Each structure stands twice: as structure tokens, then as C-alpha cells.
Amino acid sequence: MQKQYIQFVAASALMMFVQTGSQADPVANADMEAGQKIYMKNCEVCHLIGRNLINPAKEIQNSTIVADPKRLKEWLSRRNGIMPQFAHIAKNDIELRQLREFLLFAQKNPSEVKKLEDEEASAEAAKKDGKGSKTK
């Protein structure tokens, strides 16, 4: 329940930020929101909002792979070191485009993504504090 709330808050904040432009594109906004969900489901465990918790030298935030759709597709299609393949995304052009839209947004707007990350961390800390007080 708490994770769903965090995801909702993060998606809402992202959508509000994207829609503040006067030329808001509903398709791009929908792609970005869907891309964020794909990211949270498949990537977030090791790449907490653009970083790389396993190998900090290879973070998504500064990756050139994201810029080239063909290269991203190839990268996700195969195992890369300890990173598993994500062929189910690479084979689905729509999901691949959606994920890439979110990653490009994250690269261009690190401060907005950092806010989302901080909100998620705060919610997780509050969740842990709440559990601790219930067990006493």
C-alpha cells in the first residue's frame, strides 16, 4: 500500500512538472508516466532514480546509451555484466519508447528527479518509523 502511494505521488509530481509547459503534449506525458512505471518495476532496484547502486561509475544519469534508441534496445536485449537482460522491454517498441522518454526526462531534469527520490526516501523512512512504533 505504501509503495503504491509513493508511486502515485511520484507519478503525480512528474506529471505536474511536465504539464506546466504551455505546449504540453498529452501523448508525451502519457509515455513519460508509463515509462516511469516501467522504470520503477524493472530498473529501480539497482538504478534508484538514475543512479547505479551496483556500479556507481555506470549510472543511467550520465549514460549515452539512452540517447540512441537502437543502442538502448540492443543494451536491454542482452545481459551486460551482472545486469540481466530486459528482452521483454526491448522487444516491445511502445514500452521501449516510454522507458526512454522517462530516462531522457530524468537526464534533463535531475533536480526534479532528485525531488522525487527524496520524497520516496522520506516516505520509506516514515514507513519504517511507523512499523517500529507499532511493535512496541
What are the residue ranges spanned by the domains of the chain? 2-134
Tell me the C-alpha distance between 124 and 127, whole Å.
5
The tens digit of pLDDT for each residue in 31-40 reads 888 998 999 8
> Beta strands of 75-119 (E only): which ranges?
none
Phi, psi of 80 (to 5 degrees): -125, 100
How many other C-beta atoms lie within 10 A of the C-beta of residue 99? Answer: 27
C-alpha cell at 56: 556507481
Do 91 and 81 meet the contact criterion of CB atoms below 8 Å apart? no
pLDDT, residue 58, reads 78
Of the candidates 30, 108, 28, the residue with the CA atom closest to the CA atom of residue 66: 108
Give the SS3 label for residue 79: coil
pLDDT, residue 74, reads 96
Q: According to CATH, what is the number of the domain 2-134?
A: 1.10.760.10
Higher pLDDT, 31 or 89: 89
Tell me the DSSP string of 14-76.
HHHHHHTSTT--HHHHHHHHHHHHHHHHHTTTTSGGG--SS-GGG-GGG-STTT-HHHHHHHH
pLDDT at 131 over 70: no
pLDDT at 94 over 90: yes
Confidence of residue 22 (pLDDT cuts 50, 70, 90): very low
